[in-house]
Each structure stands twice: as structure tokens, then as C-alpha cells.
Amino acid sequence: MKSDQMKKNQLIQIAVAGLIVLSGCTMIATTTIYDDVYTSIVQVLCLSCIKLEPLTSSEYTFETAHNQPHTDYVLENLKTGVVFLHFSEDACYGCDVMYPVIKDLFSIDFGKEEMIYYQLSYNNQTVHYYYTNIDHAIKERIDAFFVYDKDHIGGLPMFTIATVGYDSGIIKPYYTSLYGTLNINTDEKRLEFLQGIMQESLQLWDENHVAYHPEQQP
């Protein structure tokens, strides 16, 4: 009898041990699946929320975002040169990448957390450069970001280059906005691309500014 009881006890112990092992394996498998799913979700969220490389174009437009009125200081400064608006923020990888590129483009120096304005000479023409870190800026400077977000990206960094162009018999503000790291892989090529945009903007301004009157703008 004792022998039979011992065998039963051994079988019970083996069965319990088997259940524990099976349960452990299930937990490990479930944990692994959870980790994989969680990691992939986090990666997708991070990539989508950063918005560093949106698909946009560098085409110029006369239309502001949602047909908002142009910013007053842009309208006024277009009388004497091209206007370059540079929008940034503190926690922004793309902003950090583009920060030295812009410095090289205009041969200027400033702190990332500053809000600055420079009237520059670029290729012997005037450029009005505004740097706005939205974490440290006044409302007027931040509002311009929403006015010139032409592709409705809502992401940073954003660079708006405003010049003037001919539209239905009137000379109007004519601008393009660029985003992120410009979908370009090296600083050298980013700089070359921006130099090309600047050259085109300066040429347009040179051709049309004589007939530009900010007080006639809608």
C-alpha cells in the first residue's frame, strides 16, 4: 500500500512540476511576444511623432496656410530684401542637425535658445534673417510658424524663404517652406541646396521688388 501511495505522490509531483514548467514557458513566450510588439509600437510612434523627413516640395506659393494674412514684419521687410524665417525648439534632433548648416549659410553665430534678428548682406543683397526657438519666443514670432506652414506639417525645424513674385498683375509675397533635414543626407549637400534656394529667391526679388507695395497687400 505504501508503495502504491508513494508512486501516486511521485506522479502528482511530476504532474505539478510539469505544469509549473509549462506555465513558465508560456509566460516567457508571452513576455517575448509582448516585448516585440511593444518595441515595434514604440518605434513607429517615435518615427511618426518626430516628423523629421516629411514628403514636401520646395515650390513657391502665394497662398499662406489656411489663407491667413501675411505677418507684418515679413511684408515690411520684403521692401528691402528677402526674408528668411528659421523655426526651431529645444528638444529637436533635426533642429540640432540643421543649426550649424544655417550658421554656415549666413556666416553668423547665435545661441540655440535665443530669439534673434539679423539684417545680413548675402551675395551683395539684403536678407532679413529671423531665428525663432518656439520654446523661448514671443507670440508674434510663433504665430508666423502657422502662417507659413504651407504643407501643414506642423513639424520642426521649418525654414521659410520669402521673396516677391508676379501674380495676376500684382507683385505679392512669394515664399517656400522647407522642413526637417531637407531629405538630404549630408551637411555639404544641405548647404548647397539652401544656397540654390537663396539664389532663386534673390533673383525673384531683384526682378520684382520695384513694383512691390506692402500697403496694397490683402
Q: Are residues 37 and 105 in the same domain?
A: no
User: Is there a domain that residue 58 lies in?
Assistant: no
Instruction: Record the cell numbers describing residue 168, joined without a space.
Output: 495676376
The answer to whether 65 touches 152, Cβ cutoff 8 Å, is yes
Q: Which residues pair with residue 133 across a beta bridge?
A: 88
Shared-domain flag, residues 46 and 69: no
Q: How many Å apart are CA 184 and CA 159, to the nearest integer?
A: 15
Q: Could you tell me how many helices (H) and strands (E) the chain has, helices first?
A: 5, 5
Residue 145 lies in a domain: yes
Same domain, 81 and 106: yes
Q: For a pLDDT cut of 70, what percent of the chain falls above it?
A: 74
Answer whether residue 104 is part of any domain: yes
pLDDT in tens, 164-210: 999 989 999 999 999 989 989 999 999 999 999 999 999 999 999 99
Which neighbouring-strand residues pair with 173? 164
Domain range spanning residue 19? 1-50
CA–CA dist 55, 198 (Å, integer): 21
Q: Does residue 59 fall inside a structural domain?
A: no
Report d(CA 194, CA 161) in Å as an integer.
10
101-160 per-position pLDDT tens digit: 999 999 999 998 889 999 999 999 999 999 999 989 999 999 999 999 999 888 889 999
Residue 101 and residue 190 in one domain = yes
CA dist 204 and 206 (Å) reads: 5
Q: For residue range 63-103, what is the model confidence (pLDDT) as tens digits?
A: 999 999 999 999 999 999 999 999 998 888 889 999 999 99
What integer pLDDT is reported at residue 54 of this predicted model? 63
| Whether residues 117 and 171 fall in one domain | yes
Same domain, 87 and 146: yes
pTM: 0.76
Do residue 34 and residue 79 come from a single domain? no
The domain that holds 203 is classified in CATH as 3.40.30.10
* pLDDT tens per residue, range 144-157: 999 999 998 888 89
Mean pLDDT of the chain: 81
The verdict on residue 40 lying in a domain is yes
Comparing CA positions, the residue from 55, 84, 78 lying closest to residue 195 is: 84
- Other C-beta atoms within 10 Å of 13: how many? 10
Q: 187, 100 in Cβ contact below 8 A?
A: yes
Q: Report pLDDT for 212.
A: 97
Q: How far apart are CA 160 and CA 208, in angstroms?
A: 19
Q: Are residues 105 and 142 in the same domain?
A: yes
What's the number of domains the chain is made of?
2
Say yes or no: 34 and 116 in one domain.
Answer: no
